[in-house]
Each structure stands twice: as C-alpha cells, then as structure tokens.
Structure 1
Amino acid sequence: MELVEGSVELRELQRLEGHTDRVWNLSWNPAPEVCGAPAMLASCSGDKSVRIWRQTTSGAWDCSAVLEDTHTRTVRSCAWSPSGKLLATASFDSTSAIWEYVGSEFECVATLEGHENEVKSVSWSASGSLLATCGRDKTVWIWEVQPGNEYECVAVLQGHSQDVKMVQWHPFLDVLVSVSYDNSIKVWAEDGDSDDWHCVQTLNEASSGHSSTVWALSFNPNGDRMVTCSDDLTSKIWDTGINQSQSSGEGFGSWRHLCTLSGYHDRTIFSVHWSREGVIASGAADDAICLFLGKNDNLVDEPSHRLLVKKEKAHDMDVNAVQWNPKEPWLLASASDDGTIKIWELAQVS
C-alpha cells in the first residue's frame, strides 16, 4: 500500500461493546494460535474486568471471555507475554495478576503484591523472563519469572518523584523505559558486574523532553527509536545507537531528541504506538486518532514524521489507548472513556 496523505483512510471495521466503564488499555496477543484463535485482543476497564476478544472465521470480533472477580478496583493495564500463553494485568487495587490459558479458559495463576497503591502499567521483556510494573507509589518493580507460576521481585527502582504512568521493555534488549507524572522519561538497565538495576539516563525538559506529564511510549520495530507522548500536547521522537547486534543492555547508546510533533492534538495525548510498517498512531483527550509516517528526507531539526491521517471524533470521549496488530500491520485497535473498543483498518481511499 502506498502511504500518502489523502490516499489512505482509517476505516472503522467493528465497534466492540460490553465493558460498563471506561476502557483503559488494550493488548494484542502476539501468538493467538496458542489459544486457538486467528487473532485475539485483551481489553481492561474501570469495571474491574478484562475482556478477551477473538476474531471469528467470518472476520467479526466476539467477546470469548470475561476475566473478573480477581481485581477489586479498576484494571488499568494488560499485556500478553511473548509466548501468547500468559496475560498480565495491573490494577488500582495495588496488585498485578497473571492469567494463563488452560484448556479452553483463562485462570488466574499468580497475584503480585508489593506496590503501596495503584499499579498503572505492566510489561513483559522480549524473552518473557522478566515482568515490570509501576505505580502511583513512584516506583518501578522488576519481577523474575520462576518455575511453577512463581514471580520473584528482583528490583524496586526508585528515581521518579511522582506517579509512574507506564513501563515498556525494549523490543530485544533487557532495557526498560518508564514515563511519569514528573514530566520525565527514565531508562533502566542492569549492571553487568553487580546485577543491580539502575537508571542510566533521564530525559526531561532540560534534554529537549516534555514539559508536563508523560503518559506513554512505544519503540519502533528496530529498537533504535522511540516515541513518547504527553500532557504538553506533543509527541517526541527519540533516537539512539541501539542496534540488533547488541545482545545486552551494556552497549546501548544514549537517547537523544530527534524531533517534536506538535499542533496535531489540542488536548492531552494519552497513547502512542509504533507499527511494524513504521506508522505511529496517537490517541488523545480530543477524541481523535492521528497517524504519522516517517519521511525519507530527514533534515536536521525538521520533523522526521508527517501527518498521514487524522480521524476526528474517533470515539465519543477520550481515546485512552491505540494499539497496532503485530501480525496484520494495517489493523488498529482503540479504547475510550466511552466504554467501547474499535477495530480500524488503514485502507486506500476508495
């Protein structure tokens, strides 16, 4: 498909209803075949539940499971493990839960406790051997997966001065990035000598970073760039020397600000996600979804991305999450305060 502004559109395929409160987060299963489905999406909500959506043979989406009666407050984040067999959820009840697909249904096989209050985000490392959580208590926890559905906390990372909004592992290195209400982005890695985790870089306003709460981040598939989004109404592209030949965090390069995307949303940007095909999606409190594509003629100090599509009124209320399907690169899911999830297709204008 030729991605040129005006030649493509974001076409709504289906509206998924069932949650009775705002939908906070989404996660596509990277290996849905292990759960017997051609495609699978998890959503989590203020209604204290997680819903599992399966694509049927007709292409339509149905809710195949409701995971409830485990969390007692809002479920704020959900993430599938790389194997597709486990789903981690993070809740305002101060716990995270691990769900496993057993037989034909999902069972809660572990509950992770330790955060003082709301857990805001959960993320699996590329190997699936580490899990990160973060929360309102200003901390980031790293958990090591043990045999028998046991999870051992191997580090509690303290460095943020406010609520930590999101954690995300690098696509192939054991390098973790966190973003916070303190307006900063922190990069964490393990010291090869002591096995201690520590902050190796802080990106803030002084380093061309954000001037208000940073809500989310996403890496490009190569792992050498990331995008962050903020309450300051901008998304920022960052570049580093990381490349796929490096197998550990020890040789990673420092992140540097590449460009700022501004003037596209007029309220807080809550979510960004970088697709396999290089398209960045952003969702915001202005009810809109924007799609950006990288330019080949990168000039110094010029935006490295251009607006491809802006979908006004994508939802009736705030767009809290946007997520590209990892296997079908033109398929996008979005979640909203209006209680719905939408499945979109990036398609040629007919």
Structure 2
Amino acid sequence: MKDTLDILHRFSAHPDSRCWYVAWHPKGTLLASCGGDRTIRIWGKEGDNWECKCVLSDGHQRTVRKVAWSPCGNYLASASFDATTCIWKRKNDDFECLTVLEGHENEVKCVSWAPSGNLLATCSRDKSVWIWEVDEEDEYECVSVVNSHTQDVKHVVWHPNQELLASASYDNKVCIYKEEDDDWECRATLEGHTSTVWSLSFDLEGQRLASCGDDRTVKIWKECTSEEDSADGAWTCVCTLSGFHDRTVYDVAWCHLTGALATACGDDGVRVFKEDAAADPKHPVFYLSAHVPKAHSQDVNCVAWHPQESGLLATCSDNGEIAIWKYQSDI
C-alpha cells in the first residue's frame, strides 16, 4: 500500500477572509479556527458534516492570528493584531471572555500554554516574548518579558513535558528559554535558517524540535546530551529537509501518535514526511511520504494533527477554508 493523504471534508470557515490557524481541542472533539474577519469559530462534527458551534466575535478589533486550547480544554487563548490576547472560558457550548491580556506594543503573533496549564507565553511584532502566570482564581500576571530577538517574533511553543519554551523570529533565529532564579532567560540560540522562521513543533518526547521558514526548508534540532561535551541546554541541527517546497513553509506539525511531520506551504501544498527507521538516529533522514500539491486554492497557513485519532490532519488557507485529511501509511 502506498502512503496517501486523502481529503475527507472541506468547508468554508471564514468567508471573504483568510483562515490563519486551526487548533484541536485536547480531546479532539472540537476544532477552533481564527481569521482575518476578527472572529474565532468553534467547529464540531455532526454526523458526516462539520458545523459551526459558536462564533466568538466580540473579543478582538483586528485579525486573530493564533488560537490555543489550555491542556485541560476548558480555556481558549487567542492572539490578535490588536496587540491583545483574550482568554475565553468554555461553559458547555458557549464561551465567555474571561480576561484580556495587554502590554505588547504591536500585533500579538502567537500564544501557547505550558503543559501544566499554569503558564502562558505570548510573542509579538514588538520583538518580545512574555511569560504569564495563571493562578487558581483565573488571574493572569506577566512574570517575565524576554527580549532575545532583534525582529518580529512569529511563534512560541512549549516543550511537551518540561517548562521549556521555544520561539521563532523574523531575525532567522530560534530561541530556547528556561526559568532561572525566578526569571526567564534565553538558554540557547539556534542559528541555521537563512530567512524568517515561521513555526516550530516539538516531537512527542521533546528531545527534537522542527522549525520551518521562508528559506523553504525544515530543520530538525536535537538537544545535546551531557556526554556530547556541549554547553548545558545546547541544541544542534541534525537534519535539513530542502528541495521539497517551492515557496515559504509557514507551518510544521509533528504528530505525537505516529511521528509523521506535516508542513503547510505557500505553494498551496500539504506534505507529510516520515523518518527512515534504518537511518542512524544521530543523523536522521526524513523522506516525502505524501504530497497534495493543490490542497487549497491559495497559501496553506497551518497544519494540525488530531491529538487522539491517528492520521487525521486539519489544514487552513488564505481562501478562508478548512480541510480535514486522512493520512495513511504502509508502515
């Protein structure tokens, strides 16, 4: 059997605007999307169709760039070009805006929850990364502002099981942060991309980090072990996927169920890569397993693997639509 990526559903999510991002609820029962129409939409499957359960339209004044579910699934955070981050609390099939996080000088480009649910990270065009602490009363306090990048920060993502944070920037770099003496600091700077780094994704164990960018490559970084005589917290590039994408790679997602790597590209392509099991783990090799060259009619902005169902992939595009795919592999 050949590896395949087959379309299951396709629907208009944000008519007449870009759909920037999609995020699965931790249980996989809902899908949140956001777009240029300033709204967040919550989708659920009814029978064979996807239906909009809720539209959150009163939180932001400009484009909503990213959404992120809390690990418990009861909260949704949204990052907007209006320089704010909204925290929404789920109440049955409805959501209320619990609080608005302010402080960034410009557009907030991304928001991400730590695995504990007690920390939240935001990043902005103002070149900063903010760490927020959440208490039991749902109060949010900024506990650290880190200025390790020299340009617009595009993306932040937490390590899957440690309080370690990674950020990607227009300055071509990836930064890794850790808390030291009650303050957050940059522990490692990953250099290798020759243009803007758009997105990041950790593997299941958090031992490797995938990055993608404007230079049309995907890079795989591995944390150095103490035996490798490297500085504490250092990361090294162990693999570069080049020659596969014709335009900017906007998003990368590592499937924690199968180990497959998906990418969203400005050439309208959705690609899935698999790791060669026969290769040396110190020098991993990834090959193109499946490719849909005309996934949408415009740029593909996001790829998101379902957290519970193996091989289920959601994508979204500049044309405002969401597509749901089924990836099947012969291995």
Which residue, 182, 202, 225 being the options, matches 2:208? 225
Match of 1:25 in 2: 21
Q: How does 1:2-81 map to 2 (within 5 A)?
A: 7-20=2-15, 21-31=17-27, 39-56=29-46, 58-81=47-70
TM-score when scaled to structure 2? 0.94
Q: Name the Cα RMSD after superposition.
A: 1.8
- What do the CA deviations read for 1:109-144 (whole angstroms, capped 9, x no partner)? 110000001000000000000000000000000000
| Higher mean C-alpha deviation, range 64-73 or range 95-104 | 95-104
Deviation of residue 104 (structure 1)? 3.0
Deviation of residue 254 (structure 1)? 2.0
SS of the residue 2:268 aligns to: coil
Deviation of residue 302 (structure 1)? 5.8
Q: How does 1:271-310 map to 2 (within 5 A)?
A: 271-276=251-256, 277-299=258-280, 304-310=285-291
- What do the CA deviations read for 1:254-307 (whole angstroms, capped 9, x no partner)? 211111001111100000000021000001100001100111122489652111
Could you tell me how far apart the structure 2 residues matched to 1:302 and 1:168 are?
24
SS of the residue 1:272 aligns to: strand
SS of the residue 2:295 aligns to: coil
CA distance 1:332–1:252, shift in 2 (3 Å): farther
Which residue, 168, 186, 190 being the options, matches 1:203? 190
For the 8 Å contact 2:54–2:93, the answer to whether it is kept is no
One-letter identity of the residue aligned with 1:144: E
Could you tell me how far apart the structure 1 residues matched to 2:116 and 2:213 are?
29
SS of the residue 2:218 aligns to: strand
Which residue, 294, 300, 319 being the options, matches 1:313? 294
Deviation of residue 61 (structure 1)? 1.4
CA distance 1:170–1:301, shift in 2 (3 Å): closer
SS of the residue 2:72 aligns to: coil
For the 8 Å contact 1:118–1:136, the answer to whether it is kept is yes
For the 8 Å contact 1:224–1:242, the answer to whether it is kept is no
Could you tell me how far apart the structure 2 residues matched to 1:30 and 1:104 are?
16
Could you tell me how far apart the structure 2 residues matched to 1:131 and 1:242 are?
27
Could you tell me how far apart the structure 1 residues matched to 2:232 and 2:179 are?
12
1:181 pairs with 2:161: no
Deviation of residue 221 (structure 1)? 0.6
1:117 pairs with 2:106: yes
Match of 1:169 in 2: 158
> Unaligned 5+ residue runs, structure 2?
none
Q: How does 1:120-269 map to 2 (within 5 A)?
A: 120-191=109-180, 194-204=181-191, 209-241=192-224, 253-269=233-249
CA distance 1:142–1:300, shift in 2 (3 Å): closer
TM-score when scaled to structure 1? 0.89
One-letter identity of the residue aligned with 1:85: N
Could you tell me how far apart the structure 2 residues matched to 1:156 and 1:70 are?
24
